[in-house]
Structures are given as structure tokens and as C-alpha cells.
Amino acid sequence: MIHPMEERYRTEIADIFEESSRIKKMVQVELALAQAHVDQGILTQEEFNRLFKSKNKVTVELVKEIEKKTHHDVMALVEALTRVSRCDKVHIGATSSDIVDTALALQLREANQVIIADLWILKNLLLSKAEETKSLVCIGRTHGQHAIPMTFGMKFALWAYELADCLIEINRMKFYGKMSGAVGTFASFGENGIHIQAKVLQNLGLSVPLITNQVVSRIFIAKYLFQLIAVVSIIDKMAREIRNLQRSEIQEIAEPFAETQTGSSTMPHKRNPVLSENLCSLAKRVRTNILPALENISLEHERDLTNSANERIIIPETVILTHFMVKRMTKILAGLEFYHKNIRKNVQIDPAIFMEKKMVELVTHQGLGRQAAYSQAKNYVSDEKIDPESYIGLSGQIILKTIEALRSN
């Protein structure tokens, strides 16, 4: 094993991108094309039945063996399917990208369904945390400094809102295949080419593009990866907050820590936020994949091969690592610990956090101008003890409104 995604960061989605799964989906596309050719009278039903019954005989080992001779993965697949089915009417009219891009769309659609399901779990967990902590007053921080009081529920509700927006966009994603021939003109399929493409893609449950060249436009892949990377960046944000609030001098919350877990090999007292740090580290890696995805959009003429090699890396890597990060953050939040004593202590460290409250009171109750009140507010705060709960604004209403809105869609 070279890439840690193979084991350390592997999720069930990895199975979808294994070579055996890819080959099965390519065979599935070839069969969908063959079925369309039956409708056109190019194949007989008996010939199609031979192809269909042989689909599971096309193995990775067989395709790889043939590929040593052809040096072409799709031609190796076509020869393997022809050999095991004893039917030579395979791949009629199709170019390699018709099969490869359509199989990729099947992989992405399947993986996307898994990601959506686990994103829903994470979003709903955030909403539950928001509800549980809607009245848990804490200090808000801006620029790393104490600002004014808020509640922990605001943090969780905001994260849920951000993820929910990504979920909407991910749900809207369309996965396009193609069956339009060498440069997208349907020349090899004749007058019924548009109908054949529609038949193939509809049978596979994929979206039908208005137009392609030899490949499906890479703008659609880049847009999908961007949405996943947006999710990754939100998880990165959450993990950073947990890490910072777990600092020894703050210690308001902490990620779960197993009873037998070791924090440091030399300092027994350490409880390092390694799960959150791991997510921040992975986010740095995943975000870099958007650059080649964007560069893949500008292929030369009707296509070149400069997208192919990097897509074999960036697509499964982005999808699998995004899913891993979603599942890990769900685990962190489910076991998150709160240190209520420290939360109360930190919100009361500096009475200056109530200067804004006093400034507004001087303007609204005593008629001072805003600038004069701004200058005088600090003289009042130093001598007056103010309950933090009295200055959390509409936090409770905001949280409940957010929970209601996000649980209903």
C-alpha cells in the first residue's frame, strides 16, 4: 500500500472505484448500448442474451491480460466481452470515451448517494447539538479576541446551515454520460444516434447532455468536485474551532478520547485533538484537487488525453476523502465533551465585553451621541457586574428558526 486512502482513510465508497467495479460498470454501459442496438435491429435478441449472460465473466484479470497486448483498456474490455460471450457485435458505433465517461458517471452517481446519506446524518446531528446548547452561553470571539456573549447553539446551527446549502447543491448535481461517437456528431450511429444515446443513458439512469465532443464536458466534473470540496472546507472550519476551544488555556470543549488512548509518547497528561487535526490536514490535500479539475476543462480541440491520468487520482481521492471526513466529523460531534465550568469562567474574564451594551444604553436611555457614548462606556463597565445571559440578543430565536427551517427540507 502506498496511498493511505487504500487503508487508513478508506470508506465503503472506495469499493465503487475499485478496478473490478469500474470494469463491471463499463460492461453495464456496453450492454445498454447493445440493448439499444437490438431496438434498432442491429443485434438480435439471442445475441444480446449471450452478452448479458456473460457479463460476470469479464474479470479484471482477463481484461488486464488482454490489455498487455492492446495497450488500450477499452479495447481490452471489448475483446474480453467478445471472447466470453462469443458475440462479435460489441461496442458498435461507440468511441472509448462513450464507455469510459458513462461508466464514470455511474460511479459518481452511486458514490454521491452514499455521501448524501451521511451528510444528512451529520447535518441532523448538528441540529440536535444546536438544540441541546441553544441556551449554553459562551464568549464569542472575533480576531481571536473576546467579543460579546453568544450561545454554543449558534455555532452548531451555522455549521448545519452551511452544510445544508451544500446538500441542496449536491442533490441537484446531474451525472452525464454520452453515446455520441468520436467527436460527438453521432456519425457512427446514423440518423437514430440521438435516440440511441437517449435510450442508453435513460436505461442507465443518467442525464442526457445537450451536446458533447469526444468527451463529456469537464465543467460538470469540476462543479461536482467543487461542491465536495466546499463540504470539506466546512468540516475543516468545524475541526479548527474544536481544536482551538480544546486548547489548555481555553478548554471549553474536547473531542472524544478513548480510555486506552495515548495523547503523547512522552507526556502522559496530553490529550491531543488528533481527530480534528487529521481533518484539517486532509482538507489541505483535498482542496488542491480543484486545480487540475479546472484545468481539465480546457482540453484541446475535440479532446486530448491530458485529463485522463490525473482524473484517475483526483476523482476517487476527492470523493473517498470527503466521505471519510464526513464520517469522522460525525464521530467527533457525537462524542464531544463540554467543560461547563470553563465556559462560564471564560465568558466572565473581561467585563469589557459589555461596553457595547452600555454604549447602546447611553444613547437610547440617556440621550448621548453615539461617539460620546462610545468613549464613556468603558467607565461604566469597570464598576458594574453584568449577567452574560442578559446580552445574547436573539440567539435562541435564531437557533430555533434555523432548526425548524433545516429539519423541514
Query: Higher confidence at residue 150 or residue 379?
Result: 150
Closest CA to 329 of 115, 136, 108, 153: 115
Question: pLDDT band for position 387 (50/70/90)?
Answer: confident
Closest CA to 215 of 271, 296, 269, 283: 296
195 is catalytic: no
End-to-end Cα spacing for the chain: 41
Lowest mean pLDDT among 116-125, 141-150, 253-262: 253-262
| Sequence-distant (≥ 6) Cβ neighbours of residue 322 within 8 angstroms | 115, 228, 229, 231, 232, 286
Query: Cβ(330)–Cβ(122) under 8 Å?
Result: yes
pLDDT for 270 beyond 70: no
Mean of pLDDT values over 27-48: 96
User: For 180-206, what is each residue's pLDDT tens digit?
Assistant: 999 999 999 999 999 999 999 999 999
* Gap between the Cα atoms of 409 and 171, Å rounded: 12
The phi, psi pair for 235, rounded to 5°, reads -65, -40
What was the pLDDT predicted at 267?
Answer: 62
Secondary structure (3-state) at 9:
coil
pLDDT for 48 beyond 80: yes
What was the pLDDT predicted at 189?
Answer: 96
Secondary structure (3-state) at 192:
helix
Closest CA to 43 of 30, 28, 26, 24: 30
Choose the catalytic residue: 71, 143, 301, 365.
143
pLDDT for 268 beyond 80: no
Query: Higher confidence at residue 293 or residue 364?
Result: 293
What was the pLDDT predicted at 106?
Answer: 98
Mean of pLDDT values over 336-363: 88
Choose the catalytic residue: 20, 264, 281, 375.
264
Question: Counting beta carbons within 10 angstroms of the beta carbon of residue 408, is it exposed (0 to 12), middle (13 to 18) or buried (19 or more)?
Answer: exposed
Mean of pLDDT values over 279-305: 97
Query: Higher confidence at residue 320 or residue 258?
Result: 320
- The three three-digit cell numbers of residue 125, written as one number: 446531528
Query: Cβ(36)–Cβ(199) under 8 Å?
Result: yes
DSSP state of 253: E
Question: Counting beta carbons within 10 angstroms of the beta carbon of residue 145, is it exposed (0 to 12), middle (13 to 18) or buried (19 or more)?
Answer: exposed
Mean of pLDDT values over 221-225: 98
Q: What is the pTM of this model?
A: 0.94
What was the pLDDT predicted at 263?
Answer: 65
What was the pLDDT predicted at 366?
Answer: 79
User: For 108-124, what is each residue's pLDDT tens digit?
Assistant: 999 999 999 999 999 99
pLDDT for 273 beyond 80: yes
User: For 365-383, what is each residue's pLDDT tens digit?
Assistant: 877 888 887 887 777 666 6
* Gap between the Cα atoms of 29 and 52, Å rounded: 11
Question: Counting beta carbons within 10 angstroms of the beta carbon of residue 295, is it exposed (0 to 12), middle (13 to 18) or buried (19 or more)?
Answer: middle
- In the chain, the amino acid numbered 235 is I
What was the pLDDT predicted at 305?
Answer: 95
- The three three-digit cell numbers of residue 87, written as one number: 458475440
| Sequence-distant (≥ 6) Cβ neighbours of residue 196 within 8 angstroms | 33, 36, 37, 40, 93, 179, 186, 189
Q: How many residues does the chain have?
A: 409
- In the chain, the amino acid numbered 92 is I
Mean of pLDDT values over 274-283: 97
- The three three-digit cell numbers of residue 178, written as one number: 454520452
Lowest mean pLDDT among 87-101, 115-129, 264-278: 264-278
Mean of pLDDT values over 309-329: 97
pLDDT for 216 beyond 70: yes
264 is catalytic: yes
Closest CA to 323 of 12, 17, 108: 12
Mean of pLDDT values over 385-398: 89
What was the pLDDT predicted at 368?
Answer: 80
pLDDT for 257 beyond 90: no
Closest CA to 329 of 263, 272, 270, 255: 255
What was the pLDDT predicted at 384?
Answer: 66
